[in-house]
Structure 1
Amino acid sequence: MKRAIIIIASVLFGLLFYDKQIGLNLLIFSIITLIVLIIHDSKKFKERNVLISAIVYICTGVIVFINLSNLSIIANCIAFFTLIGVNSKSNTSIYINWLNGVYSTIAGIFHRNVDVNEAQQQITLKKDIDIFHWVKLLGIPIAFIILFVMLYKNGNPMFNDLINKINLDFINLEWILFCVLGYFLFSNISKPVCVEPATSLDLNTDNILVKSKNFSEETLKKETQLGTLLIALLNLLIVFYIVTDILYLLTNDLNSASALSNQVHSGINTLIASIIIAIIIILYFFRGDLNFYLKNTTLKNLTYLWIILNIVLIVLIANKNHTYITSFGLTYKRIGVNVYIFLTLIGLITTLLKVMNIKSLVYLLRVNTQLSFAIVIILSTINWDNTITNYNLYKAESFDIDYLIKLSDRNAITLYNAKANIIISEDNKGRIDQKYLNHIKSLNNKDWQEVHYEYFTVTEKTNAYESSK
């Protein structure tokens, strides 16, 4: 029964993806994947982590269908590897889930059917499968059948005519190979495997630090003095930087694009360097026994202050970027700056929690990777081309129409509907018309596997456009 399900799934895989673009097929594939996993081990889906991963995976498939974008496809792929990894071992860190998911997808069937004898350094096939037997069972008869068909063709004219009339053009070898790939994929993920010793090491690593056996107050006293002096000086330096930055903003005209651009980009470079160095220094001093040293209060307070001052630095950079966007519109780079600012803010907050609650470095890695994955999924729900276009046309003080036209076709309808209400050249209006027409043709020429939500929402607009030609 389980083998039959995999065969059916592999045929559907070929029907869905062979020579097709991404669309509805990825959502259907997500559902098929979930069905295969449930049939092979339904008990796993009673576990909380597996159930949550399954729901997230299906949601990313829906997001791809509704809001087809490269980011939504990436989110779906990450969610796929997460689900496969969680299905192999449900209580591991998310980055171990990714490792197990990728490994299972690529080499699951080989891992399950190969024994490694470490003592003798030998690799042997398990007894429940004999690959060479199946190769001989299928390959040898086919080879001899072909040989004898060729011989009989030369010996019997009627037999030769009958063989020549056989038309095998309906057989698509590439599609068959694609189905074989699907069979290999579903066979691999049906029984996910774990990568050792990474999985065991992760399971045995706690989020909480513990006092070591070599606890030395004399050593920790010197380290605390060093840390206190260093972080105190760094606090003074960052305060001086923030004050001068605020004064510069208040006393200089930053209305020009070049001035704002220089401020944002130089600020981001400063932010990158300072945040990375800040986190490294904090992690160094609070890596172990210093967390349990009773006289570390001053160092901790200075560390909290330093983190807060770095957050103030983030707010200043965010304000500059907001001013830049308000004046000259949204672009992907400016959105990227905001995303990076948000990620650094999360990094600082989790570092603060690590110091306050005596957490380990692994805690930071686990929490930040989970949050990053969640942010990717949230960002994938947004049609950024449409968001950029709407903001630039209706809220920004100025916009670059050439930039908007060069974005993907996902803003084609928005631009077409807005062209009558914006002041642009006739040439650009013609470019918008052509972009819209190309987009509509692309939607209408899609096969059912490739369609997405927008396909069902533009029918009336298409008819209106065609009738106005």
Structure 2
Amino acid sequence: MKHLLLIIASLCFSTLFYQQSIGLNLSLFSIISIGILWWHNKPQFKNQTTIIYASIYVITAILIFIHGTALAIFTNIFSFFILIGCVSSNKNSIYVQWINGFYSVIAGYFHRKFDNKDIPEQTILKKDIDILHWAKLVGIPLVFIIIFILLYKNGNPIFEDVITKINFDFINLQWILMTVLGYFLFNNISQPATIEPATTLDLNTANLLIERKNTSEEKNKKDNQLGTTLLAFLNVLIVFYSITDLMYLLTNTVDSANHLSMQVHNGINALIASIVIAILTILFFFRSDLNFYKKNKAIKNLAYLWIGLNIILIVLISIKNYQYVSAFGFTYKRLGVFAYLLLAFFGLITTFIKVFKIKNLWYLFRVNTQIAFAICILSATINWDYSITEFNINNAKVLDITYLIHLKGNNSPLLKTYAQQYKLSEPINTQINQKWTTHNQNLSLMNWQEYSLENFTNTTKGYH
């Protein structure tokens, strides 16, 4: 039964993906993958964490069908690896689950084949199906048949004519290879593997720092003095920078996109350097014994202050980027700035928690990877090309219509409507009409495997 299910799934895999673009096929693949995982790992699917990740995987599959953005596809694939890793070990950190999932997809079968713990299971499987025997049973007669056909062709013209007329075009080697790839993939994930000792190490590592018994009071004192001095100077510096930056925001009016761009990107560069240095410095001083030093109140307060000032810096850069967007609209780079600022904000908050509650470095890795994954999922729910176009048309003071034309085709109805409402130059009108026509033609030429929701909601009957 196991092999029959895998064969059916592999046939579905090649049917869905052979010579097809991404669309409904990836959504259906997600459902099939969950089915294969559930059938072979039913006890694991009783676990709440596994159910949550399976639900997230289904949601990302639905998002691909709804709008099929690159971010939705990326999040779906990322969720695929995490779900597989969760099935193999549901109590691990999310990044370890991702690694285990990726490993299972690539080498799950070979891991089971050569891992000592799986020897009894492999013995049972060999009793059920002797793969080598079947390979001989099919392969050896096939080789001999081909050899004798070639020999007989040279000895009989009529036989040669009959053989020549046989059409083997229906045999598609690429489709067969795709099916084999599908079988290999589903076989690998049917029983996910774990990488050791990374999995066990992660399970056995807590989030809290443990106080060591034999610590050097003198070393702690020197580290405390150095950290206090360094953080004090850095706090003064960032206060001065933030004040001057705030004054600049309040006293300057910027009309140039290039000028605003320079402000934002220079601010981002400063922010990146500041936050990286802040987190690394804090991690260095609070890596071990200084967390338990009785006279560490001053350095802790300075660390909290520096984290707070970096958050203020994030706010200032956000204001600059908002001014930029208000004047000239959204682009993916400007969205990327907001995404980085959000990640930086959570990074600083978790660093504060790490110092305040005496957490270790593993805590930062675990929590921040979960936060990043959650942000990816939320971001994947938005059709960004369409949303950028809609926002810019309705809100941007200076509209870069050329940028919008070069976005994905699903924004073409918005551009078409805009072109009908406003008088645009002839070249721009031509580009919009061409984009709109091409997009609708592409929709009509899609195979069912490539469908998205737009194939069912698009009411365009012709191309004008």
Q: TM-score range by the shorter chain?
A: over 0.9
Superposed displacement of residue 378, structure 1? 1.3
Partners of 1:15 and 1:84 in 2: how far apart?
23
% identity of equivalent residues = 54
The alpha-carbon deviation at position 426 of structure 1 amounts to 2.5
- In terms of mean alpha carbon deviation, does 395-404 or 149-158 score higher? 149-158
| 2:353 equivalent to 1:353 | yes
1: CA distance, partners of 2:374 / 2:361? 20
Q: CA deviation at 1:340?
A: 0.7
Alpha-carbon distance in 1 for matches of 2:347, 2:158: 79
**Counterpart contact for 1:115–1:126, Cα < 8 Å:** no
Asked if residue 427 in structure 1 is aligned to residue 427 in structure 2, the reply is yes
- The aligned counterpart of 1:304 is 304
Match of 1:449 in 2: 449
- Between the aligned partners of 1:116 and 1:152, the Cα distance in structure 2 is 50
**Is the Cα contact below 8 Å between 1:383 and 1:410 reproduced in 2?**
no
For residue 56 of structure 2, what is the aligned residue in structure 1? 56
Aligned-residue CA RMSD in angstroms?
Answer: 1.9
Aligned counterparts of 1:64 and 1:72: Cα–Cα separation in 2: 6
Alignment of 1:325-336 (within 5 A): 325-336=325-336
Report the alpha carbon displacement of residue 155 of structure 1 after superposing the two structures with TM.
Answer: 4.0
Matches within 5 A, 1:342-421: 342-421=342-421
CA distance in 1, matches of 2:259, 2:423: 26
Output one character per residue of 1:424-453: Cα deviation in whole Å (capped at 9) or x when no partner.
213211211111000000000000110001
Whole-angstrom distance in 1 between the partners of 2:167 and 2:413: 47
Query: Residue 231 of structure 1: CA displacement?
Result: 0.7
Counterparts of 1:273-312 in structure 2, within 5 Å, are 273-312=273-312
**Once the 2 structures are TM-superposed, how far is the Cα of residue 145 of structure 1 from its aligned partner?**
1.6
Partner residue of 1:141?
141
Deviation of 1:395 (Å): 0.7
Q: Deviation at 1:151?
A: 2.4
Q: Which runs of 5 or more structure 2 residues have no equivalent in the other structure?
A: none
AA at the equivalent of 1:103: Y
Could you tell me how far 1:265 is from its partner in structure 2? 0.8
Which residues in structure 2 correspond to 1:81-120 (within 5 Å)? 81-115=81-115
Deviations 1:367-414 (A, max 9, x none): 111111111121111111111111111111111111111112121111
Match of 2:65 in 1: 65
Cα deviation, 1:213-272, whole Å, max 9, x if unaligned, reads: 322333212211111111111111111111111122233332322221111111000000
Query: For residues 113 and 314 of structure 1, what CA distance do their matches in structure 2 show?
Result: 51
* Per-residue deviation, residues 310-347 of structure 1 (Å, max 9, x unmatched): 00001000000100110111111111111111111110
SS of aligned partner of 2:219: helix
Taking the aligned partners of 1:337 and 1:70, their CA distance within structure 2 comes to 18
Moved more, 244-253 or 175-184: 244-253
1:117-132 equivalence runs, <5 A:
127=123, 128-129=125-126
Aligned to 1:262: 262
1:210 matched to 2:210? The reply is: yes
Q: How far apart are the structure 2 equivalents of 1:299 and 1:261?
A: 37
2:19 aligns to what SS in structure 1?
coil
| Superposed displacement of residue 70, structure 1 | 1.2
Aligned AA (1:97): Q
1:421 positional shift: 2.2
Shift of 1:293: 1.6
- SS class of match (2:3): helix
1:422: Cα distance to partner?
3.0
Following TM superposition, by how much is the alpha carbon of 1:165 offset from its aligned partner in structure 2, in angstroms?
Answer: 3.6
Does residue 195 (structure 1) correspond to residue 195 (structure 2)? The answer is yes
The 1:442/1:65 distance shift into structure 2, 3 A limit, reads same
> Which digits, 9 at most, give the CA deviation of each residue in 1:147-174, with x for residues without a partner?
1222233445554444334322111111
Give me the whole-angstrom Cα distance separating, in 2, the residues matched to 1:375 and 1:191.
Answer: 29
Bigger mean CA offset, 323-332 vs 419-428: 419-428
Shift of 1:281: 0.3
Give 3-state SS (helix, strand or coil) of 1:208's partner: coil
State the Cα distance separating 1:455 from its structure 2 match. Answer: 0.9
CA distance in 1, matches of 2:277, 2:14: 50
Aligned residue for 1:206, secondary structure, equals coil
> Is the 1:114–1:126 contact (alpha carbons within 8 Å) kept by the matching residues of 2?
no
State the one-letter code of the partner of 1:354: K
Structure 1 letter corresponding to 2:42: S
**Contact 1:57 / 1:76 at 8 angstroms: preserved in 2?**
yes
Q: Cα offset for 1:290?
A: 1.3
Structure 1: which 5+ residue stretches go unaligned?
118-122
Tell me, yes or no, if the aligned pair for 1:106 and 1:188 is still in contact at 8 Å: yes
Aligned residue type for 2:325 = I
* Distance change in 2, residues 1:115/1:93 (3 Å): closer
Look up the SS of the partner of 1:113 in the other structure.
helix
Structure 1: which amino acid aligns with 2:67?
N
Residue correspondences, number: 458
Alignment-mate amino acid for residue 245 of structure 1 = D
Residue type of the alignment partner of 1:197: P
Q: What residue in structure 2 maps to residue 120 of structure 1?
A: none
CA–CA separation in structure 1 for the residues paired with 2:134 and 2:65 = 40
Moved more, 64-73 or 162-171: 162-171
Q: Distance in 2 between matches of 1:30 and 1:258?
A: 44
- Residue 277 of structure 1 and its aligned partner are, at CA, apart by 0.3
Q: Partners of 1:299 and 1:334 in 2: how far apart?
A: 36
Q: TM-score, normalised by structure 1?
A: 0.94
**Change in CA separation of 1:301 and 1:445 when aligned onto 2, cut-off 3 Å:** same
The 2-side partners of 1:113 and 1:39 are apart by 20
Instruction: Report the more deviating stretch, 378-387 or 136-145.
Output: 136-145
